[in-house]
Amino acid sequence: MATTTSPPTSTDPIAFIFPGQGSQVVGMGKDLAEVYSVARQAFEEADDALGYALSRLCFEGPEEQLRLTEITQPAILTASVAAYRVLNEKGVKPSYVAGHSLGEYSAHVVAGTISFRDAVRTVRNRGKYMQEAVPVGVGAMAAILGMDLEAVTSICTEAAQNEVCEPANINSAEQIVISGHATAVERAIKLADARGAKRAVLLPVSAPFHCSLMKPAQERLAVDLQQVIFQKSRVPVICNVDAASHYDAAKSRDALVRQVTGSVKWDQSIRLLISSGVQTFVEVGPGRVLSGLMRQIDRSKSAVNVGDEASLQKALKSFAVAPNSTLSS
């Protein structure tokens, strides 16, 4: 994890960044819920909104259930919002928010664009729609390491051969994930290996996310999102599909719809935040995936994660925040 030479002051812009699918782990959020009532309330609200004990699956598993996409997505969202509420109670507030894929919903909850209850229900359906869009085995995703976006895009075009093969997650200049038909993705892996990629490997995912094969999921989700009330956000939300800052309610809804088939422009989003003066990034929720990507994007910036009590206390110390003091940006 990157370190900073000086703690942020009340005038330093801080970005909260929220993880996406793949960061789930059995036990996530449990100790925060045990210690902080605001975290516990987040899990109780999610249980009530969904009509089943999501909290128990987060805290106790079993892991195979937690890995089911329609459970994974609301689980990560809830664990992330619970961690955010604790940080907010401690007086640590963001100047900007962004989330990786699913994490963009967490960002919108924090920004006040959508309610937590609506978000939990929406991402449950989002996960279901994405899983059902493509039969198991038809699609695939692969990580291409050590090859720039232009080269990866060229390989995808060549490998497609009348199938779908597209850049899905532009995570950093060193890591790009591709998505599409399994046979096309396998051809792209061979091309990447032949053309000097450091590594090209299939990912253990259940569906080919963030490519045009997700069009059926996008159409179903668009109907749901039209029923959700969107507000002007309190802080800028950097949306994945445009790598641009949004306040407007209608634009935020549209970006979440387009995100289903569009590339996650994470590298570009983080660089936009850096150009806006952000020096400190707080990964809010389970795991350290985004903190790891930050090392690839810009090692000079501070990246801390807050997903449990230990990481919370470590982060507060890095901010020079005493347990009952306030740091707001």
Instruction: Give the active site residues.
Output: 101, 210
Query: Interior CA angle at 1 toward 123 and 167, to 5°?
Result: 45
Closest CA relative to residue 177, chosen from 294, 99, 98, 266:
266
Which position has the token pair 């925060």? 32
Q: Residue 97 is encoded by which pair of tokens?
A: 């928010």
What DSSP character marks residue 324? T
* CB-based burial, 202-233: b 16+ in 10 Å, e otherwise: ebebbbbbbbebbeebbebbeeebeebebeeb
Distance of alpha carbon 39 from alpha carbon 24, whole angstroms: 17
Q: Residue 171 is encoded by which pair of tokens?
A: 């995570």
Q: Would you call 117 exposed, middle or buried from its count of C-beta atoms within 10 A (0-12, 13-18, 19+)?
A: middle
The answer to whether 35 touches 313, Cβ cutoff 8 Å, is no
* CB-based burial, 250-289: b 16+ in 10 Å, e otherwise: ebbbbbbbebbbbbbbbbbbbbbbbeeebbbbbbbbbbbb
Beta strands at 165-172 and 175-181: parallel, antiparallel or unpaired: antiparallel
Q: Calculate Rg over the CA atoms of the chain.
A: 19
The answer to whether 90 touches 278, Cβ cutoff 8 Å, is no
